[in-house]
Structure 1
Amino acid sequence: MTGLPSIPNPDLTVGKDNKQGWNQPDRRREGFHNGHARWRRMLMIRARRILSLRDTPDPRLSAAVEATGLTRNPAFSALVVAEGDRVLHSSHAGDFGPDRPHSIQSVTKLHAHLILGELVASGRIDPDLPVVRYLPWIGSGYAAASVQDVLDMNVENDFTEDYDDPQSGCYAEEEALGWRLPPDGRAEITLRDFVAGLTGGDLVNRTGHALYKSANTDVLTLIAAAVGDQPPLARLQAIADAAGYEGGFHISLSPDLLPALSGGACLSARDLARFGLLLARRGGAVSGADVGDRMFLERSLHRPAPILGATRGWVRYSNQLMTDGKWVGHAGYGGQFLMADMETGRVAAFLSVLENDSGYDDAYMAHVIRSLEGVLSTR
């Protein structure tokens, strides 16, 4: 039937600076707090059993949190610090509650670490082989790159992730992640077709630091779908069971119904802390089977890998996680960070929403990392 009144979806339609409605600076905070209800396609997973957490506030730790200034920053949404089955600190902004899901953006990539770790450990993936061995249809942007270099953000190609550039490739990628609609009624591009169309030269990274590209995680998602004995969505369900989430784990889906492991998850701060505790347990499950691979995770802590760059030169990017050799974690666009101290088992889940034009601030993220390191070391 035609002729019925309709308007373009205001959340998903692209507007100023090539950003869709939910990611416009004046709507970004609301968008991050409600991404699970704003994006094109979302899958929600509940855990079979819930990891019970006891609130046992630690005054010294809360004083350390206060000293960082993180919770007084206008961007702040939530911070939860936990260890074992105890919540040592929990604070939330006035417009964001403890049970609310929040976009965690690239913190989602830690799920790719767990999934690829299993596939490497089982022999289904050899990290030294080129991507083309697993994805014969792949284009020049990744065909000759080793899977290991993709895991380490160590690939030079034509995909760009510059949040200050409205025409950067990462914004075109969002269509394949289910975060925006194409113009003029054009069909949405699938994750496979988006990745297949990426181009590159010899792919050798000569910068001396990691070249952060979310498209790398998209490639790994497609490899996992191609070679795994179960689909990526089934592995995400296993991770949810292993973590013991209390609320829903929400993940956006591509038009070809693949999970957006590069940045599409939404979790409450307490459930993000539960995910961090899962990492601290090295994949040990609350219910169901253990996830990831313990040796893959241990090697990721200590193996040589590219540093993040000048402002975060003490942090390396290794196997789809960030590490200083003591903690593992990941940052997320907009101001997220999850950190798990692998020596003490203490974790910090930090959520915030930057409302500047780009939605990113490198100095801010470096401050967040240093602040969480200090908080986790407080005894």
Structure 2
Amino acid sequence: MRIPNPDLAVDDSNKQRWNRPAHRRHGFRNAHHLFRRTLMVRSRNVLPLVPSPIDLPAALPELRALLAHPAFSAFCCLRGDALIFESAAEDFSPTAPHSIQSVTKLHIHLIFGRLLAQGLVSLDAPVSEYLPEIGSGYADAPLGALLDMAVRNDFSEDYSDPLSDCYTEEIALGWRLPPEGAPEPSLAQFAAGITGFRPGPPPRLAEYKSANTDVLTLIAAAVSPVPLARMVEEIADAAGYEGAFHISLSPEHLPAFSGGGCLSARDLARFGLLFAGISDDVAYPNTGFLRYCLERAAPSLEPPRDWLRYSGHLMTNGRLLGHAGYGGQFLLVDTETGTSCALLSVLENDAGYDVNYMSQVAVCAKHICEILA
């Protein structure tokens, strides 16, 4: 006799065990072991870090508050290859892997920067040009709108609603099982089932939908001459991780760029350095797209984070850039000084999300970048 995998099967709350509040701390710190299937990559060469300590908590009471918060897992601040400050909860480490959730979306910025430079995609083209079988939720949406979180359709991402579409999406990301006896939908099948595209001018506020990232993943897989797994390897090599990068895979073995990545705080800060400096170094091949995303107008995030806008699959104010992640993850990079701040945490409320906490994290990282500037 066999039973559904207890880590991946859902209960009456429509959550799998590793993402229920009582198990979430363990789940986020062991997600690379708990996902249905994963890709693991080690960097060919490691970026060494030079200890250059600065007592940031002494200068920033808001950072002291975050380090003492019950959700805190780990924090790392780099300035180039200088290790400025790092800290971890008593039961964790800045070098241990941790779910980074939607911070993973920054890979899509890097990948589409390359595809645009190669002339393989156009920001103005409708999704159906690349995915003829896509459903009505995305067929007529321009690719650029997906990159800017500016698509209006029926997909819902409300973490406080256990029946929100974003939880059904998790089956196609390899995070949970479907109802017993039901097949696992592929990422393509899931995306094709989304309906209700509503055309119109770009919204003033970003309409955050992780399904946008899923569709962009499918487009990248369709047009790229290089397999997505190889692109993940190339990004890992450019970042120079000392540990491993893990990412969950869909049933058709596509990387779950919408939120399946796992990195240590130290390696997440290394990843952030790929976006710093805006140089033409070979490790960062999409300088033009990054500069375009920083300088242009784009939908703002909702208050209190409306000092950031969502442009080209990253959050930015024109100089600082980064991304937030479900459960309390955040990466913020100062593109002018090469400062990269990575925070990992685990919110243990029912929703696993708290907009006020995320705003607190973002403002704290902003202040760190300002001090180090």
Aligned-residue offset at 1:297: 0.4
State the 1:290 CA deviation: 2.5
In structure 2, give the amino acid aligned to 1:136. Answer: P
Q: How many residues align?
A: 371
Give the corresponding residue for 1:300. 293
Gapped regions of structure 1 (runs ≥ 5):
none
Cα distance in 2 between the residues matched to 1:67 and 1:357: 25
Partner secondary structure for residue 347 of structure 1: strand
Counterpart for residue 64 of structure 1: 59
> Which of 253, 265, 271 is the matching residue for 2:267?
271
Contact 2:126 2:141 in 1 (8 A): yes
DSSP-derived class of the 1:310 partner: coil
State yes or no: 1:10 paired with 2:6.
Answer: yes
Matching residue of 2:23: 27
| 2:46 paired residue among 50, 54, 57 | 50
Instruction: Give the root-mean-square deviation of aligned CA atoms.
Output: 1.4
Deviation at 1:281, TM superposition (A): 4.4
Give the AA of the match of 1:64: A
Q: Which residue, out of 207, 214, 223, partners 2:210?
A: 214
Deviation at 1:206, TM superposition (A): 6.7
Q: Is the 8 A contact 1:305 1:318 kept in 2?
A: yes
Give the equivalent residue in structure 2 for 1:280: 276
Task: Give the match's secondary structure for 1:224.
Answer: helix
Q: 2:12 & 2:326 partners in 1: Cα distance?
A: 19
TM-score (normalised: structure 1): 0.95
* Alignment of 1:110 onto 2:106: yes
Percent identity of paired positions between Structure 1 and Structure 2: 56
By how many angstroms is 1:99 displaced?
Answer: 2.2
Distance 1:22 1:77 in 2: 16
Q: Deviations over 1:61-98 (max 9, x none)?
A: 23235543110100000110001111100000011113
Of 351, 363, 373, 2:356 maps to 363
Q: Is the 8 A contact 2:136 2:195 kept in 1?
A: yes
Q: Is the 8 A contact 2:206 2:299 kept in 1?
A: yes
Pair 1:362–1:67, CA change in 2 (3 A): closer
For residue 58 of structure 2, what is the amino acid of its counterpart?
A: A
CA distances 1:14-51 after superposition (whole Å, capped 9, x unpaired): 11321111000110010000000011001100000000
Q: Does the CA-based 8 Å contact 2:75-2:94 persist in structure 1?
A: no
Q: 1:203 offset after TM fit, Å?
A: 3.8
TM normalised by structure 2 equals 0.97
SS in 2 for 1:240: helix
5 Å matches for 1:1-379?
5-59=1-55, 61-68=56-63, 69-204=65-200, 207-282=203-278, 289-379=282-372
CA contact (8 A) 2:277 2:336 kept: no
Distance 1:201 1:299, change over 3 A: closer
The one-letter code sitting in structure 2 at the alignment partner of 1:290 is A
- CA offset digits 1:175-220 (Å, max 9, x no partner): 0000000111211110000001110142436752100000000010
